[in-house]
């Protein structure tokens, strides 16, 4: 995991990573800017430089991880898990899931059930 290496990142990036630990976090670049005292463009540029991901991509990855954990640990619907993870709509979740994995959530579930 990106933030498992201690003292690898500048303090500002560490703070961003900490604020993003909660997948339901709805911090925006402006929110980070207010919280950390850096401009949104500085935060965005430095976050990507040090992590290799944009803040949005990192947050989406955390949310997808949350959905995967929920789906494996509990009998819950994928829609409920997506909303609990902080996705604003099922359509948003579906689009991000498909971009990340290359297939839809329903195709994923079918693959799991066929094993």
pLDDT digits (tens, 9 = 90+) for 23-49: 777 888 898 899 899 999 999 999 999
Tell the burial category of 33 from Cβ atoms under 10 Å away from its Cβ (0-12, 13-18, 19+): middle
State yes or no: pLDDT of 70 exceeds 90: no
pLDDT bracket for residue 58 (50, 70, 90)? very high
| Maximum CA extent, the chain | 50
State yes or no: pLDDT of 2 exceeds 60: no
pLDDT bracket for residue 6 (50, 70, 90)? low
pTM for the model stands at 0.81
């Amino acid at each position: 995991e990106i933030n498992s290496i201690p003292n690898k990142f500048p303090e500002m990036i560490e703070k961003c990573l900490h604020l993003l630990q909660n997948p339901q976090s709805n911090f925006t670049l402006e929110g980070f800017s207010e919280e950390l005292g850096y401009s949104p463009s500085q935060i965005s540029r430095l976050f990507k430089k040090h992590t290799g991901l944009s803040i949005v991509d990192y947050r989406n990855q955390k949310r997808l991880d949350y959905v995967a954990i929920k789906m494996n640990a509990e009998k819950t619907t994928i829609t409920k898990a997506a909303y609990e993870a902080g996705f604003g709509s099922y359509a948003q979740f579906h689009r991000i899931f498909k971009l990340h994995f290359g297939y839809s959530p329903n195709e994923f579930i079918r693959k799991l059930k066929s094993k």
